[in-house]
Amino acid sequence: TGAMEIRYTNVEAVPLSAVYLRLYPGLLGGSIGVDNVRLNGEPAGYELQADASVLAINLPEPLPPAGQVVVALDFLTVIPETYGGSYGMFIVQDEILAMAHFYPVLAVYDESGWNLEIPSEQGDISYADSSYYLVELHAPADFVFASSGVTIGSEPAGADTRYTIVAGPMRDFYLAGSYRFERQQTTVGGVTVNSYAFAEYEEAAGRVLDYGAVALAILAEALGPYPFAELDIVSTPTRALGIEYPGIVVIALRMYGPDNPFGEQALESTTAHEVGHQWFYSLVGNDQLDHPWLDESLTQYATLLYFAGRYGDGGRQGFTGAMQSRFDNSGASGLPIGLPAAAYTPAEYSGIVYGLGPLFFVELEETLGAELFAQILQDYVATYRLRIASETSFQELAEQHCGCDLAPLFTEWVYDD
């Protein structure tokens, strides 16, 4: 059970007649119910839309640009014990609680209006603006959890402990925990990096901590400073190899054991990839459903920067070859990298977005030169920090830097013409 209050400011250029919240648990094998919905303290009418994945709250009068409204409600979330949609990101299994998208999330309003579509089961499920979070969590004292943000206080609350967590600006708030988690910790450039896993996976969790810490250092140098005080890396029973959230990343539990079916390089590359998402998705936002190349393909390129920075030319060549093989082995061809996630088959999505997509950025780097492309990446992060980049933002910024026409290259690789 939970209660929440959203202090919403209309940052759009037009008045808004309603506020929309996304209800993801029902799409992830669980459920969520809402009650006692209020606007500025007064009872408010609402309706469910899009297979109960959208909560529409009509405003008594249009909210003008810069106008503010306080939305409050109570909610009850049921967490599944079996795998639902989107890789089992929201589940209680293997003595681990993984709480992705467990609360009502403010929908994004952009140039196309409110984004309310039901997401594809492949790719990421959410598309969100950045917000500040103040979270109060009640949990047993011996329950070890990791979350977005930083825990700033705790005090007894009956048989439980009440924790106060602050986070933001972040696009989401994620939490995972277990009675069996143990934590390893290091510090990189003033950032605390934590690795959570069971005691029997201590060795693998230590390697994951090393991969994550080195990735954080390399990518902060290449892309700009990591914006948060902590970075948590937590093992969960997800069916994906890894999943990103702001300030915290998830690595599949099955990769921690001695019989890791994917191999050590997959554990390393997955960790580096998810850390890379702290810049592309978390710091720089984009429509992950319609333009997954802007976060997934660019994050794969960031993973290439990790391997090059850590292992030199051999690391760069090895990971470039792995991306080429991923595309070649997928059997996907003839499709641009810039389609919505739902437009690809699972094999095409893997091969094109994660294999061919980063090779486009390699091509762009070779076309413009490594030094200029590095400047473009840093400027892209700085320009769209805490904002949402559009489909054409990267091209437009790159053309400003090079003073050249990149339309033929983007048309060939990215756009569906």
- 184 and 308 inside one domain: no
Domain boundary among 73, 94, 116: 116
pLDDT at res. 122: 85
Domain boundary among 250, 282, 314: 282
Is residue 327 within 8 Å of 352, Cβ to Cβ? yes
- 71 and 152 inside one domain: no
Provide the domain limits for residue 383.
292-413
- 231 and 335 inside one domain: no
HSE of 322, CA atoms in CB hemisphere, 13 A: 16
Determine phi and psi for 235, rounding to 5 degrees: -85, 130
Give the three-class secondary structure for 25: helix
Residues of the chain with pLDDT under 70: 85-86, 417
- 392 and 359 inside one domain: yes
- 141 and 249 inside one domain: yes
Residue 366 in any domain: the answer is yes
Residue 91 in any domain: the answer is no
- 42 and 112 inside one domain: yes
H helix count then E strand count, the chain: 8, 22
Sequential DSSP letters for 233-294? EEEE--SSSEEEETTEEEEEGGGSSTT-TT-HHHHHHHHHHHHHTTTBTTTBB--TTT-GGG
HSE of 206, CA atoms in CB hemisphere, 13 A: 5
Determine phi and psi for 135, rounding to 5 degrees: -120, 135
Cα–Cα distance between 213 and 116 in angstroms, integer? 36
- 270 and 317 inside one domain: no
Give the three-class secondary structure for 161: strand
- 180 and 205 inside one domain: yes
Residue 90 in any domain: the answer is no
Residue with token string 């006692």: 36
Residue 186 in any domain: the answer is yes
Buried/exposed code over 19-54 (b: 16+ C-beta within 10 A; e: otherwise): bbbbbbbbbbbbebebeebebeeeebebeeeeeebb
Residue 172 in any domain: the answer is yes
Residue 254: CATH number of its domain: 3.30.2010.30
Residue 365: CATH number of its domain: 1.10.390.10
Our CA angle for 88, 34, 248, nearest 5°, is: 40
Is residue 167 within 8 Å of 132, Cβ to Cβ? yes
Residue 89 in any domain: the answer is no
Give the pairing of strands 16-22 and 105-106. antiparallel
pTM of the model: 0.97
Is residue 143 within 8 Å of 241, Cβ to Cβ? no
- 240 and 385 inside one domain: no
Q: Which pair of tokens denotes residue 123? A: 């790719």
Q: Cis before residue 62, ω within 30 degrees of 0?
A: no
Cα–Cα distance between 107 and 103 in angstroms, integer? 12
- 163 and 268 inside one domain: yes
Cα–Cα distance between 71 and 65 in angstroms, integer? 17
- 229 and 347 inside one domain: no
Is residue 323 within 8 Å of 359, Cβ to Cβ? yes
Domain boundary among 116, 143, 171: 116
Give the pairing of strands 54-63 and 16-22. antiparallel
Count of beta carbons in the 10 Å neighbourhood of residue 360: 22
Give the three-class secondary structure for 167: strand
Residue 243 in any domain: the answer is yes
Strand 16-22: give its sheet, edge to edge.
46-49, 54-63, 16-22, 105-106
What's the total number of domains in the chain?
3
Residue 20 in any domain: the answer is yes
pLDDT at res. 176: 99
Residue 64: CATH number of its domain: 2.60.40.1730
pLDDT at res. 123: 87
SS percent in the chain: helix, strand, coil, step 5: 35, 35, 35
- 146 and 276 inside one domain: yes
